C-alpha cells in the first residue's frame, strides 16, 4: 500500500487554470509518445523505450509545452506502463487462469475532458448542436467537480 497525499483544487482557485493547463499538456505528451510506441510495437514489432521516444518527441510542441523535467517524467511513466504490460503478458502466458482476459496495451488519456462548451463528449446521449452551452447540456455531462491531484 502506498501513502498518498491528495489536494483538492476547486475551479475558483487562482492556481486551477495553471494546473489544468499543465495536466492538459502532459496528457498531450503522453498521447503523442504512446502513439509512437504503439505504432512501432504493432507494425514493426519493436518496443521504443523512453530514450528512443525522447529523441522522437523532444522537438515537438507537446514536449516543449512543459518544463523538460516534467516532460521527462511523463515519458518515464509511459515507459513504466509499457514494462507493466510486458510483465503482465508474460504472467498471462504462464498462468492465464489468473486473469480475466488478455492484458491490453497502455491506452491513451481522455481528450474529451477539455472540450469547449457546445462540443460533444463521450457519455452524452446525443451530440449537441454548436449553439448549446454547458448550462444546456444534460446534468450527467457537466464537469462541476474540483480537480483532484495525487502524486504519482
Q: Which residue has the higher pLDDT, 2 or 148?
A: 2
> Domain spans of the chain?
7-149
pLDDT digits (tens, 9 = 90+) for 49-103: 989 999 999 999 999 999 999 999 999 999 999 999 999 999 999 999 999 999 9
The number of beta carbons lying within 10 Å of the beta carbon of residue 52 is: 16
In which residue are the cell numbers 482476459 written? Answer: 101
- Pick the residue with more confidence: 133 or 84? 84
DSSP for the chain reads ------EEE-TTSTTHHHHHHHHHHHHHHHHHHHHHHHHIIIII-----HHHHHHHHTTSHHHHTS-HHHHHHHHHHHHHHHHHHHHHHHHHHH-GGGSSSPPPPP-PPPSGGGPPTTS--TT-SSPPPTT--GGGS-GGG---SPEEE---
C-alpha grid cell, residue 110:
481522455
Q: What is the dihedral of CA 26, 32, 36, 38, to 10 degrees?
A: 80
Closest to 39 (Cα-Cα) out of 112, 93, 105: 105
Q: What is the pLDDT of residue 117?
A: 47
Amino acid at each position: 500500500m502506498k501513502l498518498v497525499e491528495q489536494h483538492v483544487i476547486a475551479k475558483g482557485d487562482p492556481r486551477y487554470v495553471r494546473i489544468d493547463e499543465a495536466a492538459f499538456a502532459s496528457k498531450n505528451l503522453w498521447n503523442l509518445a504512446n502513439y509512437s510506441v504503439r505504432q512501432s510495437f504493432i507494425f514493426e514489432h519493436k518496443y521504443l523505450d523512453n530514450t528512443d521516444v525522447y529523441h522522437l518527441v523532444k522537438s515537438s510542441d507537446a514536449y516543449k509545452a512543459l518544463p523538460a523535467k516534467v516532460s521527462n517524467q511523463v515519458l518515464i511513466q509511459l515507459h513504466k506502463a509499457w514494462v507493466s504490460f510486458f510483465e503482465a503478458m508474460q504472467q498471462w502466458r504462464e498462468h492465464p487462469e489468473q486473469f480475466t482476459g488478455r492484458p491490453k496495451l497502455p491506452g491513451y488519456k481522455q481528450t474529451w475532458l477539455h472540450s469547449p462548451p457546445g462540443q460533444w463528449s463521450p457519455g452524452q446521449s446525443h451530440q449537441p448542436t454548436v449553439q448549446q452551452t454547458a448550462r444546456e447540456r444534460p446534468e450527467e455531462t457537466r464537469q462541476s467537480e474540483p480537480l483532484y491531484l495525487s502524486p504519482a
